[in-house]
Amino acid sequence: METVQSIERAFAVLGVLAAEPGGISETARRVDLPKSTVARLVATLEEVGALERIGDQYHVGPGITSLVPSGPHSVGLVALARPHLERLAAETEEAAGLSVVDGDRMHTIAQVDVDRSVQARDWTGELALIHSVPSGLAMMAGWPEDRLDRYLEQPLQRSTQQTLVDVDRIRVRLAAIRKQGYAWGMEEFHEGINSVASPVRDASGTFVAAVHVHGPAFRFPEPASDDEIGRVVAAAADGVSHSHATVPAPL
């Protein structure tokens, strides 16, 4: 039946885009279907919220992620992380957030703000080049070598003049992050904003997200406080990791 075939094809499209976001042409190649067919399927899936378009790539949308509370983009992880983010924001007096890898970018999926006269903007829903933000560097520090090589082989763009794009220097930096357990970024993604991040692990030790704190560069971090703040952020990330690892798997 044509309807059944359409459902099978729609699930095939959802499957490849859940594994890695992509555009119409790339998705058509991955599912081995005509580009016109995939374009129609994607348009329908986007209309019902199963997919969403960010830039020129399609991602699994809220209509699907809301049905899978254990997924890394889901409200499930956000709910687990939120108490830790609230304590972290209160302790540092700066905004605390949670980000996940989304294709070749970091996607901020939650943020807890603080009441201060000058606040950093809410980055929830925003995407950033992985190498340009501490949350992305923290995640890269846990990647297997082949994945890291593939990412670093591509041309690396700058978000600001401070963004590090030299591959050798990035590798040195990642080695330091592995030892410290956290990563700092000074105006590397956005001018006037400094940030620090640490990875969240699942029960197997795989990096699944990053906890981060960011604030205006003129006050964050305070002099000689970067190590202390880094350890506080790493402790919060460990708390989220423990909460995530101890949640029973869905039946």
Does residue 248 sit in helix, strand or coil?
coil
* Tens of each residue's pLDDT in the chain, 251 residues: 456 788 888 888 988 887 677 899 999 998 999 999 999 999 999 888 888 887 778 877 766 654 544 344 444 688 889 899 999 999 999 999 999 998 889 999 889 998 877 777 788 888 999 999 999 999 999 999 999 999 999 999 999 999 999 999 999 999 999 999 999 999 999 999 999 999 999 888 999 999 999 999 999 999 999 999 999 999 999 999 988 766 554 43
- 211, 165 Cβ separation under 8 angstroms: no
Query: Angle 35-47/2-19 helices, nearest 10 degrees?
Result: 80
Secondary structure class of 88 (helix, strand, coil): helix
34: tokens are: 């005509």
For residues 241 and 104, what is the distance between their CA atoms, to the nearest angstrom? 23
State the architecture of 2-65 in CATH terms: Orthogonal Bundle (1.10)
Q: What is the pLDDT of residue 250?
A: 41
Q: Tell me the domain boundaries of the chain.
A: 2-65, 75-245
User: How far is it, in rounded angstroms, from Cα 211 to Cα 199?
Assistant: 6
CATH number, domain 75-245: 3.30.450.40
Q: Which pLDDT value is given to residue 3?
A: 62
Model's pTM, two decimal places? 0.70
Distance CA 32, CA 13 (A): 10
